[in-house]
A and B are shown apart, each in its own frame.
Chain A
Amino acid sequence: MQLKEIVHNLTDLIWQAEQQTERPLDDSILSYVRDAVAVEVDYRRRMRELDRRLIEIETVHAVAGPA
């Protein structure tokens, strides 16, 4: 999904929520998105780093062979 498409979908979602609740929700939703994405990115980075470390561990283990 491209960034423009994400923006478009997020705008539609906020707009629909505003229509339902009849109150402005852009600030609260965008604040949530900002925090949620930051946490999600950090989490994926950590997972990616862990995956690398796991691969390294497995590689070392494979080269060394079973003790």
Chain B
Amino acid sequence: MARPFIRGSGLTGVLAGSNADVAALAELVSHLAGFILSLESEQRDRPDAAVLNYVCDAVTAEIGHRRRERELARALAAIEQETTAAAIPASKTAGIESRPTAPPRAAPQAPDGADPEDVFYRALVAERAPVHLRCLDGYDVPSAIVRDVSVYALLVETADGQELFLKRSVISIVRR
């Protein structure tokens, strides 16, 4: 039986798809028409409108359902991407933190580059701390306070008054 409407229609423009889609749609139209006519022959009524309304409503509902599912799938994929992106830096940080760390070094007594001798003298001057001072020649001062320091000498206050010591003559200075 000829199907002039189907063969002469612009289905390709409607579908913008392949010839297979057009053929499949034409076949569906044919089946639907046959179904309507078979109902009509059994019931002696014209079920065109009822059948076509049912088909359109059912297809619309199914397509809407699939679109919602697709949107949900995309949303889920986006959530998974965000979760993965957030988890990678966290795991990297965790990896760094889990590594054994070196024991903290003892705080240096002198700042980097400073002369430890100079730092030691300055502290004695600032604190006016009593010291035991010994010299190379055996001269011994059991209790003294370092008042000032220069490049080559120390100004020390003893029980007998102030004394100037050459740094190179001093063998040791011990806090009391």
Interface residues of A (CB under 8 A from B): 1-3, 6-11, 13-18, 20-21, 25-26, 28-30, 32-41, 43-45, 47-48
* Assembly CA distance A3 to B17 (angstroms): 24
Residue total for B at the interface (Cβ-Cβ under 8 A): 38
Within 8 A of A (CB), among B22-76: 24-26, 28-37, 48, 51-52, 54-56, 58-60, 62-63, 66
7 nearest A-B residue pairs (beta carbon)? A40-B33, A39-B5, A11-B62, A36-B29, A7-B58, A1-B31, A26-B63
Residue contacts A-B, CB under 8 angstroms, 5 given: A37-B52, A40-B5, A40-B6, A41-B33, A44-B34
Main secondary structure of the interface of A (DSSP, over half): helix
* Assembly CA distance A35 to B5 (angstroms): 9
Name A7's contact: one of B14, B25, B36, B62 (CB within 8 Å): B62
B9 interfacial by beta-carbon distance below 8 Å: yes
**When A and B form their complex, what is the total count of cross-chain residue pairs whose Cβ atoms lie within 8 Å?**
112
12 further A-B contacts with Cβ under 8 Å, apart from A7-B55, A17-B17, are: A3-B35, A6-B32, A11-B66, A20-B17, A25-B14, A26-B63, A32-B25, A33-B56, A34-B52, A37-B29, A43-B3, A44-B37
Which residue of the partner chain B has the closest CB to A47? Answer: B1
Q: What distance in Å separates the Cβ of A28 from its nearest Cβ neighbour in chain B?
A: 5
Whether A16 touches B21, Cβ cut-off 8 Å, given contacts A6-B55, A25-B15, A36-B9, is yes
